[in-house]
Chain A
Amino acid sequence: MTDISQSGPVLAADGTPLKRSLSRALRMQKLRALMLIAPLLLFILVTFILPVADMLFRSVENRIVQDTLPQTVEALADWDPASGQLPEEAVFAAMAADLQIAAKAKTHTRVAKRLNYENPGVSSVFRKSGRKVGKWDLATDGPFREKLIEIDDGWGDVELWRTIKTYSGSFTSGYFLNAVDMQLGAEGPEVRPENERIYNTMLVRTMRMSLIITFSCILLGYPVAWILANLPARKANLLLILVLLPFWTSLLVRTSAWKILLQQQGVINDTLVWIGLVDDANRLVLINNELGTIIAMTHILLPFMILPMYSVMQTINPSYLRAAKSLGATDWTAFWRVYFPQTVPGIGAGSILVFILAVGYYITPALVGGTKGTFISNLIAYHISTSGNWGLGAALGAILLAVVLLLYWVYDKVVGIDNVKLG
């Protein structure tokens, strides 16, 4: 009796206040959950998140000019490119000194390559001078202004010095500007000349083709999802296998199948010729162009559209449609005003998923796209592995990633990542 009548907080069995004891238990529970998650989180951070962040950092990092030509960068600080005058003799002397050190360490070609991305032609000026400057005596061989211009009259070009000054900071927006077909001019960012613009076209093409693929998937997927949702379960499960099998089949198998089928001497053209629809002399060009990429990718991504639509349509009560019809709606009105609006979440989920997957595709466009049907990913791969312009590749990658993450965020809002279903 004394226990109950006592005033003050309720106590747990061990004498601590119940409230504190409960919150401690909750804290323990949270801690235990986090302990279970921690190893994986750490694993993903190290093997995945850090590498991606590291690559994205390359799109703005620009230490090479500063590191290789430190004296020149310092001497150039006072020079005003807008004056149209060449820099002072001191700058040329600093450049000669820097070049001598760089040529010995063989780093002058790297900085030349870096500057060449921004101002084509710089590379040869540096390479040519690097060899000769090594033999100069810095104390007595001045003035260097005339001597450098004598080696290559590129040194007499104000533009070259402007480029060095513009790209002497530790960070640059140059790669990003390049990725959207702009450059850092004398008065800030400016659009590149017409003949140097390729990346915008590529971004626009990637977006346009991904949209076309998404729409083809909606068009082809909608009837299939509808019939799967409205057939008796046994038949539907059987037909579902026809959707799941492509989903499980290796991407390369499906791409090679299309590569073989779409050839000019392939099965599709053979069949069309045999039926007589196409003349043997002008077989259709179905591959190595945009059409090839669209056909193959629609096929590859179609299951990702059908499955979310199917799971939404399964939940729609068929009596709504019957009710609409009994109230006098025609088949079309009943479908368009009653059934279709209920399927929009499924279409949305499928479309975002297909679009996200499509914009980042690399393998299929590389194999069936030729030159006209490649995506931005192919360009990124080119810059990373072939051209060596990693900063530009990283900048293009950052733009692509931004688009994808934006859509991912929308997808999370609309569908929720927890609701992603596989198979």
Chain B
Amino acid sequence: MYPYLLFIGITTLMIGWIWGVLYAPEDFQQGNSYRIIFLHVPASIFAQTIYYFMSICALMHIVWRVKLAAYLIKSAAPIGAMITFIALFSGSIWGIPTWGTWWQWDARITSTLILFIMYLGILTLHGSFSNLEKADRLMSILVIVGVVNLPIIKKSVDWWSTLHQPASISTSGSSIDPSMLMPLLISIVGLGFTLISLGILSSRLYILNREKNKKWVLEHV
């Protein structure tokens, strides 16, 4: 399943990015720098989506003691950190021509930085215990605690006066022209499939590593 998802992901992502970077019209205010949107917005969406996924897994691990749920958290956290870094990095570079600065301690950017630190914290916490069952439990608790940051990220542009613009896409509609919206939606779908396939690989690696002494792994390998 993984190669098919990866193929769909990369193909869709390339269509979205080529369409957005080369074929979408220039923005009348931001010029061509807005073309970073086709990477920045999907990365920001998945930076939060992965954390939501991890929080569901954390709940499953705490409430029902599902071992696999903890494995999935540990596999998803590095991908979450990677994509949050890409969101922060692309936003910073986009800020140079648009805002005249690469960094501003405004609510949206700071709360996204906290999300990045949360991902790193989760990985560090898990790595600092030799008792892996205890590490799983504490990691799940930390993930649940960190969920409080997600609505702050989402609503930061509405609650505070920020340099970051409000959301352009919502459930009620979009303020983006269709010629720019279509490649953006395609890029979101493409990055989603690509990250799911990376998630499958990452969880395979973690499960093999964790269960390497079990009989079923020896038979599987």
Q: Do A and B bind each other?
A: no
List A residues at the B interface (Cβ < 8 Å): none
Chain B residues at the A interface, C-beta cutoff of 8 Å: none
